[in-house]
Each structure stands twice: as C-alpha cells, then as structure tokens.
Amino acid sequence: MKELILIKYGEIILKGLNRHIFEDKLIANIQKAVGDDARIYKSLATIYAEPREGADTDELIKKIGRVFGIVWIVRAGVCGKELSEISEAVNAYLKDTLSSAKTFKVETKRADKRYPLKSPEVSREVGGTVLSAFPHLKVDVKNPEVQVNVEIRDTAAYVYADRIPGRGGMPTGTSGKAMLLLSGGIDSPVAGYMIAKRGAVLEGIHFFSHPFTSEMAKQKVLDLAKIVSGYCGKMRVHIVPFTQPQLDMRDKCPAEHLTLLMRRMMMMISCEIAKREGAICLVTGESLGQVASQTMEAIAVTDNASDMPCFRPLIGMDKEDIVKIARDIGTYETSILPYEDCCTIFVPKHPTTRPQLEKILQSEKLLDVETLVREAVEGTETVEIG
C-alpha cells in the first residue's frame, strides 16, 4: 500500500494573516532537511511528505522530527475514500498493531466536509469491520490501547495508528537572528537550541584564548554547533581571539574582579559582532545562582556592558533539567569532554559574588577597553557549520 508522511503543525495556525508565511517557511525547512528524498507539499492545513522511490522512511521521519514548528508526525497508509476501501486499508495496513492489541477505537476526521457520511458513522462502520477481522479485540472508547485514525481528505483517505511527537516551536527563520555566546559547556548549546526553537536563526560566538585553550577545545565548540545546526540549519560561528584581553586583565586588575571583567568584555565584543552581522539579541547559557558569576548582582553587572537585549533562556532552570535537554538534543556527550574553556583560566580563588558595579567599572578603567574590543573584533574568524 502507498505510504505517506503527514505532518501536523499547531501554534503557527494561530498567526492569522501571517499564517502562510509561517507555513511556507516550515515547508521550505522540511524540504531542506530531507533534501530530494521526499517531495513536500501542503493541503488543507496538513503538510505531506511523499518519499522518493526507495527512500528510507524511518530516516526521513527522524530528519523531519528535528525541524521546529511540527506538533506531530504520522506514517499513514493511503487509500480510496469509499468506506470499503478505508476498512480494507485499516485491516491490512494496521494488521500488526491490531493483532497485538487488546482494545481499540476508531477516530475519524473529515477534512472533506462534502463526504456523504459523518465522522462518527465512518468510525462505527470501520470499527465493525475491525471487530470482524480481529475477533479478539474489544472496543474501548475511553482508554484504548490503539487508536485507529481515519482522515478523509481532498483526494484520498489516510489511515494510521501512532503519532510521533514533533519538537514543537516555530519554524526557523520566523524570528530574526540571535547571536549565541557558545562555550564548550553543557548550558550554552541548550540555550541556543531553545532560542532557535522559537524561530530564531542562530549564529555563534566563541572566545578562544590560544595557547591557554587548545585547538581541541575549539573543535569541541564547532562540534557542538554542528549538532545544534541539525535542528536549525546552517550556522556561522565567529571565533574571537581573547588572549590579549585576558592577559591585560590578569596583569592590571584586581584578581577578584577578573571573572566579571571577562564577562563584561565578552558582552561588549559580542554586541559589536552581533550588530555587524545583523543580529537583534545576544543569548547566553546563564542560570540564576549556578556559579559566582551568575548571582543576580553579577548578572546585572554583566548585563550593564551590553547595549542590546540579552536572552537567557535557562535563567530559571535547574541543572538537572538542562542536562535532560542536552541529552535529548545530543549535545551532552560532547559537552562533557574535558577540555578547558577560557573561563577556567586565571579564575580567581575568591570571586566576588555580590559585586558592586562602581567597583568593577573602576577596575575596568585600568584597561584600554576600546582597543581591546576593536582588536578582538578585527581578529575574529568565521567558520560555516552545517
């Protein structure tokens, strides 16, 4: 029997007049994700993926499952719209599922409202033929083990049982560009994923302190960007030389201020690069209270160095919840590889946890901030990922 993949989307339906912009973006993103292994098209608020001859449907479903903006995906058998054809299709296409279940119900939806029978009538008729074909089954309308779904649409009917949950969110490219401060840790790739999930196009910035941090540490960050780009498409990563600012801070400023001075410098450089690249906001993986530089006071001091909005999607999350997402999206194993980050060099033994902005600004005056920022931006190299 012919098989198709049906793709259902939720939230973007709410977008009124913008609706087809969102739909078109979603269709384009799905097509990009599957390449020429399937033809993607839309009809009556459902997107269809028609696999190419010989294409691996499981693999296709995996790829589609990573695209943002999808609520669920089903693999459906395609049949004619006559009641007898639908019943035959259900009993043949869902044979294995129905054989191994004890209870079921049939749920029918008519996208074709001119269809002569009402949905409950179709469900009843089809249910009757299922009971004759699989006499061990019982109907349970409240809590069935298997829900047989029948959708009667414009040119055909579709039958399926399992719904595979999609990732939700909004199609990539519907929310502007965000500049993610990407370290090699667990948090920032998750933060990037969460903002990308809301439709943003991502670019990454990584601060690299050669020779204090190694090529391996840089490669790890590019590997993380590659994993995140599996969800949100191509990503550019800007590698910023950060050795000079760190050396100057170490040589000129009080040790207990180093972490915050470094974080402020990261914000200033990131703002410059973000503006140059047309990004509207910065994104970090900070979470309130996680470390000394992420107390409310410390974040306020850091934020003060940025003149553009900085989104911190993990701000209210516990580490365990962040780790859960990192595992789910596949970044965790790479994030825990033991390479040093520029944050871990020259770290003060006793960082200030309740910093006063005035004092930090005084320390910052000991640096030639303008030159350091300019030279870092000029020395930045950009790598294309995905």
172 is a site residue for ligand ATP (CB under 6 A) = no
182 is a site residue for ligand ATP (CB under 6 A) = yes
How near is the Cβ of 188 to ligand ATP at its closest, in Å? Answer: 3
Contacts with ligand ATP in 266-285 (CB under 6 A)? 284-285
Site string for ligand ATP, 290-319 (x = CB under 6 A): xx-x--------------------------
Part of the chain binding ligand ATP (CB under 6 A), chosen from 178-186, 225-233, 249-257, 368-376: 178-186
207 interface partner picked from ligand ATP, Mg ion, none, CB below 5 to 8 A per type: ligand ATP
188 interface partner picked from ligand ATP, Mg ion, none, CB below 5 to 8 A per type: ligand ATP
- Residue nearer to ligand ATP on the CB measure, 106 or 224: 224
Part of the chain binding Mg ion (CB under 5 A), chosen from 8-16, 24-32, 288-296, 337-345: 337-345
185 is a site residue for Mg ion (CB under 5 A) = yes
Contact with ligand ATP (CB under 6 A): which of 91, 183, 295, 363? Answer: 183
Contacts with ligand ATP in 208-237 (CB under 6 A)? none
Pairing state between β 177-181 and 201-208: parallel
For ligand ATP, how many residues bind (rule: CB under 6 A)?
19
Contacts with Mg ion in 250-289 (CB under 5 A)? none
Contact with ligand ATP (CB under 6 A): which of 86, 298, 342, 376? Answer: 342
The secondary structure of the chain, three-state, reads: CCEEEEEECCHHHHHHHHHHHHHHHHHHHHHHHHHHHEEEEEECCEEEEEECCCCCHHHHHHHHHCCCCEEEEEEEEEECCCHHHHHHHHHHHCHHHHHCCCEEEEEEEECCCCCCCCHHHHHHHHHHHHHHHCCCCEECCCCCCEEEEEEECCCCEEEECCCEEEEECECCCCCCEEEEECCCCCHHHHHHHHHHHECCEEEEEEEECCCCCCHHHHHHHHHHHHHHHHHHCCEEEEEEECHHHHHHHHHHCCHHHHHHHHHHHHHHHHHHHHHHHCCCEEECCCCCCCCHHHCHHHHHHHHCCCCCCEECCCCCCCHHHHHHHHHHHCCHHHHCCCCCCHHHCCCCCCCCCCCCHHHHHHHHCCCCHHHHHHHHHHCCEEEEEC
- Residue nearer to ligand ATP on the CB measure, 49 or 195: 195
Contacts with ligand ATP in 194-213 (CB under 6 A)? 205-207
- Residue nearer to Mg ion on the CB measure, 183 or 246: 183
Part of the chain binding ligand ATP (CB under 6 A), chosen from 91-99, 177-185, 245-253, 361-369: 177-185
- Residue nearer to ligand ATP on the CB measure, 186 or 317: 186
292 interface partner picked from ligand ATP, Mg ion, none, CB below 5 to 8 A per type: none
Bridge partners of residue 168, in order along the sequence: 70
How near is the Cβ of 209 to Mg ion at its closest, in Å? Answer: 13
How near is the Cβ of 185 to Mg ion at its closest, in Å? Answer: 4
CA angle 39, 40, 46 (to 5 degrees): 140
Pairing state between β 201-208 and 157-160: unpaired
Binding residues vs ligand ATP (CB under 6 A): 181-183, 185-188, 205-207, 284-286, 290-291, 293, 341-343
